[in-house]
Amino acid sequence: MELKLNKGDGIDSWKEVTLIYNAALRQIETKMEILNEEFQHVHQYNPIEHIKARIKSPESIVKKLKRKGYESTIDNMVEHIDDIAGIRVICSFTSDIYRIVDMISEQKDIKVIGVKDYITYPKASGYKSYHMIITVPVYLSDRIVDTKVEIQIRTVAMDFWASLEHKIHYKFEGDAPEHIKNELVVCAKMVSDLDARMLSLNDEILAISRARELLTAEE
């Protein structure tokens, strides 16, 4: 599906749009990898399990613009769609989520323009994740383009639930039977309980490790 062109913002083709957003994704991916390596160096621990990146398809962009009531133009796409470029950061524990949020927010060239904390305030469906909309400068030969990227941060367990919920949503075209929706909410609660228990277990393991280190140091 082709987007109509409107040259008002200087991005005058889909090819150039994908170049810019792909460049933004690469910058954020590299930043996250460096921060993860630094964290390992300082704390002997990796908060990030893995990273997924994607550019939204033209079909999805057009559908979203129509839902928002906008004509399918490049200008409208860039101005009104925040998740053309998306990064998903998967971590082990819920405590890692806010640690990663802080690390991203402290980057001098990143501007945070919006957040949605679905960890503290889950959706009615049971969905949990932390969403950030940020801008990062992409340096071209003739200009700098501040480019929006959506960053989703969640645990492995949250990601497992969200992936299955997404498949079910599209299987039923957004209108799943009520008993399936209710079962998903129950599963989301199980995922939340699992995350809490795994975090508690990890904290206990760390406490035991620190105690053993102190005993060894005193000997």
pLDDT at residue 171, rounded to an integer: 80
| Average pLDDT in the chain | 89
* φ, ψ (nearest 5 deg) of residue 144: -110, 130
Using one digit for the tens of pLDDT, what is the confidence trace for 40-98? 888 888 899 999 999 999 889 999 999 999 998 888 898 999 999 999 999 999 999 99
d(C-alpha 39, C-alpha 48), whole Å: 10
Q: How far is CA 129 from CA 53, 106, 108, 155, in A?
A: 16, 20, 24, 8
Ranges of beta strands (E only) in 15-93 are 48-55, 85-91
Task: Of 144, 147, 137, give the one whose Cα is nearest residue 55.
Answer: 147
Q: Which residues contact 32 (CB under 8 A, 6 or more apart)?
A: 48, 51, 87, 89, 100, 104
63: amino acid identity, one letter = K
Give strand ranges (E) for 56-205. Answer: 85-91, 111-117, 130-139, 144-155
Residue 73, pLDDT score:
86
pLDDT of residue 2: 40
User: Measured between alpha carbons, how far is 18 from 39 in angstroms, rounded to an integer?
Assistant: 31
Percentage of the chain beyond pLDDT 90 is: 66
Which tens digits make up the pLDDT trace of 129-153?
A: 999 999 999 998 888 999 999 999 9
Q: What is the pLDDT of residues 3-17, one digit of tens each?
A: 444 444 445 578 888
The total of other beta-carbon atoms located within 10 Å of residue 34's CB is 10
CB 55 within 8 A of CB 85: yes
CA-CA distances (angstroms) from residue 118 to 121, 129, 152?
5, 5, 10
Q: In this structure, what DSSP letter does residue 1 have?
A: -
Residue 98 token pair: 């806010």
CA nearest neighbour of 27 among 147, 163, 178, 202: 147
For the chain, domain boundaries: 7-156
Tell the CATH topology of 7-156: Beta Polymerase; domain 2 (3.30.460)
Among residues 101, 126, 130, 134, the alpha carbon closest in space to that of 118 is found at 130
Residue linked to tokens 């913002």: 9
